[in-house]
Amino acid sequence: MESGAIQPTLDIDAVRADFPILNRPLPNGKRLVYLDSGASAQKPRQVLDAVLGCYETYYSNVHRGKSTLGLKVSESLEAVREKVRAFLNASSSDEILFTSGSTLALNVVALSWGRANVKAGDEIVVTPMEHHANLVPWQLLAKEIGARIRMLPMTDDGRLDLSRMDEAITSRTKLVAVTQLSNVLGTINPIKELADAAHAVGAVIVVDAAQSIPHLPTDVQELDVDFLVFSGHKLYAPTGIGVLYGRREFLEAMPPAFGGGNMIERVHDDHFTPAPLPAKFEAGTPPIAEAIGLGAAIDYVADIGLGRIAAHEHALTVYAHEQLKSLPGLVIYGPSPARKGGIISFTVQGAAAEDLNFLLDRNGIAVRHGHHCTMPLHERLGVPATIRASFGVYNTKADVDALVEGLLAARKRLRLT
């Protein structure tokens, strides 16, 4: 991807010092080479301190009564909502809903907006590179309603084929659901163009920003998207907290997806009136300390600067492509580094991904193997599994070198010629 304006490079030693897990040996004594941030990112001290600080000094339930702690923790939670609003440049914090993660957020859109708006015969457009979280909820909805799933065409090098966009996005399209950054190919998709195409036929667009949020500055107004989701844990925040951004007019019109406490204004014997936004979509006790951790994580990446993080990861991606390509039998899937984020998925001829993963892991190198929750994509790639290396702010060229050395050692061990 473009690294934008020239910025001072980040102080990688200072960054790495922030992540306790990177500074202690693994149980087998090896240095941890963490190349699995696409699955979940490690947590900096600042996030850990914020979570512990919440539990140790002001933890209580939120939005319940007016106790000193209750008020303080409720204010802190709402301050995080405002922080997320600013991070996404949403026009109101009422458009920011806390969920447990991207998966739940996408299911909320399907269960609430989808059931209310998609009719039999309508079409839901997805892409071949979607994570199952942005595919199966639409399949469930389509089955229930009698709607149809359509795929946008993809080029051989793993980009959406925009020249054939109108084959899939038509007057029958009700919804376009697309990832901003593929969790396997690394492809960065042109969200604004897709939003324009969806809106031109009266459809809405849902963006899965689970992979892009830690790497690309995201402006929901500039992108002109209707819904956008992400998970805190890929952005250096704790697990269990995620975000659903929704355009206010849609959220106002949608029924609540789940019922329970906090999402009601009044409850009668046989009916209820929902609470105003955002509470309407937040049934039950939210992940409180996790949300506080998300606020600290947003501060953390904002302090470093997403532009600087993107430039750092882009340089690593270019370097890793160069190094990996020189290995015999290694095939990288997806576009060139100029068109992708810091994710590199590959296979090595003659070696099962599982075996490579095992041998790398023994040397302290954490990557991921398998279909990465993208079975339809792997079918198109013609392989059952790939190895994926994915970068975070803390990775270095030495990590890439360790991966290359680890792969060379694995080749020897597997007696590949």
Q: Which sequence positions are flagged as catalytic?
A: 373
Compare residues 176 and 402 and give the one whose CB is closer to ligand PLP.
176
Of 101-109, 267-275, 328-336, 390-398, the segment contacting ligand PLP by CB under 6 A is 101-109
Compare residues 198 and 229 and give the one whose CB is closer to ligand PLP.
229
What's the CA gap between 78 and 62, in Å, rounded? 10
Residue 147 · residue 120 · CB < 8 Å? yes
Token readout for 266 is: 């009044």
* 3-state DSSP assignment of residue 87: helix
131 binds ligand PLP (CB under 6 A): yes
Least distance between ligand PLP and beta carbon 276 (Å): 26
Token readout for 331 is: 């095939």
99 binds ligand PLP (CB under 6 A): no
36 binds ligand PLP (CB under 6 A): no
Compare residues 1 and 359 and give the one whose CB is closer to ligand PLP.
1
Q: Which residues pair with 160 in a beta bridge?
A: 154
Choose which of 133, 154, 178, 389 interacts with ligand PLP (CB under 6 A): 133
What's the CA gap between 390 and 37, in Å, rounded? 6
Choose which of 231, 317, 357, 390 interacts with ligand PLP (CB under 6 A): 231
Least distance between ligand PLP and beta carbon 6 (Å): 30
Token readout for 246 is: 């929704």
In sequence order, what DSSP letters do the residues of 178-216 get, joined into one string?
EESB-TTT-BBP-HHHHHHHHHHTT-EEEEE-TTTTTTS
Least distance between ligand PLP and beta carbon 143 (Å): 20
Of 97-105, 114-122, 275-283, 342-350, the segment contacting ligand PLP by CB under 6 A is 97-105
Least distance between ligand PLP and beta carbon 36 (Å): 11
CB 267: neighbour CB atoms within 10 A? 11
Least distance between ligand PLP and beta carbon 183 (Å): 3
How would you classify residue 29: left for phi > 0, otherwise alpha for psi between -120 and 50, otherwise beta?
left
Token readout for 194 is: 């897709």
CB 112: neighbour CB atoms within 10 A? 22
Residue 353 · residue 385 · CB < 8 Å? yes
Least distance between ligand PLP and beta carbon 241 (Å): 10
> Quick one: DSSP state of residue 9?
P
- How many residues interact with ligand PLP (rule CB under 6 A)? 12
Question: What per-residue string of b and e applies to 353-365 under the rule 16 or more CB within 10 Å gives b?
Answer: beebbebbbebbb
Q: Rounded to an integer, what is the distance from CA 42 to the centroid of its chain?
A: 14
Choose which of 179, 347, 357, 390 interacts with ligand PLP (CB under 6 A): 179
341 binds ligand PLP (CB under 6 A): no
101 binds ligand PLP (CB under 6 A): yes
388 binds ligand PLP (CB under 6 A): no
215 binds ligand PLP (CB under 6 A): no
Choose which of 74, 112, 127, 134 interacts with ligand PLP (CB under 6 A): 134
37 binds ligand PLP (CB under 6 A): no
102 binds ligand PLP (CB under 6 A): yes
Least distance between ligand PLP and beta carbon 187 (Å): 11
107 binds ligand PLP (CB under 6 A): no
Burial class of 211 by CB neighbour count within 10 A (0 to 12, 13 to 18, 19+): buried
Site of tokens 């897709």: 194
Among the listed residues 369, 370, 391, the one whose alpha carbon sits nearest the alpha carbon of residue 321 = 391
Choose which of 74, 76, 103, 173 interacts with ligand PLP (CB under 6 A): 103
Footprint of ligand PLP (CB under 6 A): 101-103, 131, 133-134, 179, 183, 208, 210-211, 231
